[in-house]
Amino acid sequence: MTNKRERLQAAIEGEVADRPAVALWRHFPVDDQDPRALAEATAAFQRDYDFDFIKVTPASSFCVRDWGVEDEWRGSTEGTREYTRRVIYDPKDWRKLKVLDPMSGALKDQLSCLELLRQEVGSEVPIIQTIFSPLAQAKNLAGQKLLFDHLHREPELVEEGLRVIAQSVLAFIDLARSSAIDGIFYAIQHASYEFFDRQSYARFGGTYDREILTITEDLWLNVLHLHGESIMFDLAKEFPVQVVNWHDRETWPDLREGKIKTAAAVCGGIRRETMVVGEPQSIAREAKEAIASMDGGKGFILGTGCVVPVIAPHGNIKAAREAIDFA
């Protein structure tokens, strides 16, 4: 039998093994506030659906909480929490950030979650840890509006903060390796022409993205997530990753064109909206279309463009998982 790693390696090499690989992921609100509860919820999700890899999805605040932000669970269907306290108000506040110790606070909790999850699922299931880009973390520290106000008024001060955030990310990843992760899910939220031109993004985002992804090159399953619309998809060719994930059903490029533009495997094919309001037949139809567009699944991993909303019915998630068995 082909195992999960072999199936994923085939996709990374532009081929297909016994069947296309498949993976969906979601938030686990409330559970994501405790490392053991998040590990158990994630493991239970994997046991229910047997995906080809596990993407660990903590609350986005896990990487910034130790700087003092606060957030609350208020029922978002995406499973995300709302920020109730920021820590950056004045441009000079960026200079107050200190490199976080990954062996304390929320970062230590997330490392514990990874260790517990590995114990739960064993060594045969690939695990990747979500890492938010420094620019995405800066947004959560200040809020989107204030971040861009500071970038326009005092860009050098924001860059001081971005460097500290990047150093904290590097320290966390260094320790996460000991939890036997197979890669990272690197979430970029601002590589979009809605926010930046290419030169500006290279300065405020790409510099740190490249540094982080370079130190993970020895891991075999790094996924680049390009969030939103009007994305700078050329980054998928520039950055050293094995898989690229984006909202392929909502924005350019589609899966087939995306695969032409990158040597990495591509992950997507199912609309998140379909996962929520569709029926199993519509899930199977979108999956079949995606697989056919990729020459039977070569270089392809079936998934959604981002997290599956927490209100997606069990039957629809099951249909996505079973769709590849009939590809």
The answer to whether the beta carbons of residues 243 and 267 sit under 8 Å apart is yes
C-alpha torsion 239→250→62→142, nearest 10: 90
Residue 229 lies in a domain: yes
Residue 253: cis peptide before it, omega within 30 degrees of 0: yes
Distances (CA, A) of 85 to 13, 72, 79, 144, 191: 44, 10, 19, 13, 25
Token couple for 86: 């920021």
Distance CA 211, CA 216 (A): 9
With CA atoms as reference, report the closest residue to 9 among 180, 126, 128.
126
Residue 304 lies in a domain: no
Conformational region of residue 297, where left means phi above 0, alpha means psi within -120 to 50, and beta covers everything else: left
Q: What is the pLDDT of residues 158-196, one digit of tens each?
A: 999 999 999 999 999 999 998 889 999 999 999 999 999
Residue 103 lies in a domain: yes
Distance CA 42, CA 58 (A): 10
Check residue 193 and report its DSSP letter. T
Token couple for 167: 């150093």
Residue 158 lies in a domain: yes
CA angle 258, 27, 7 (to 5 degrees): 45
**What is the pLDDT, as a whole number, of residue 179?**
87
Side chain identity, residue 2: T
Q: Is the pLDDT assigned to residue 327 strictly greater than 80?
A: no
Which residues, 6 or more positions from 126, have their beta carbon under 8 angstroms from its beta carbon? 4, 5, 8, 52, 53, 54, 182, 183, 221
Alpha helices in 60-121 (DSSP H): 105-121
79 pLDDT band (50/70/90 cuts)?
Answer: very high
Token couple for 92: 């000079």
- Residue 130's domain comprises 24-271
Distance CA 72, CA 323 (A): 36
Measured in residues, the chain has a length of 327
In the chain, the percentage of residues whose pLDDT exceeds 70 is: 100
Structural domain count, the chain: 1
Q: Residue 253 is part of a domain; what is its CATH number?
A: 3.20.20.210
Distances (CA, A) of 65 to 170, 185, 187, 324: 17, 19, 18, 39
Residue 297 lies in a domain: no
**What is the pLDDT, as a whole number, of residue 244?**
98
- What's the pTM value of the predicted model, to 2 decimals? 0.98
Q: What is the pLDDT of residues 223-256, one digit of tens each?
A: 999 999 999 999 999 999 999 999 999 999 999 9
Residue 245 lies in a domain: yes
Residue 278 lies in a domain: no
Residue 138 lies in a domain: yes
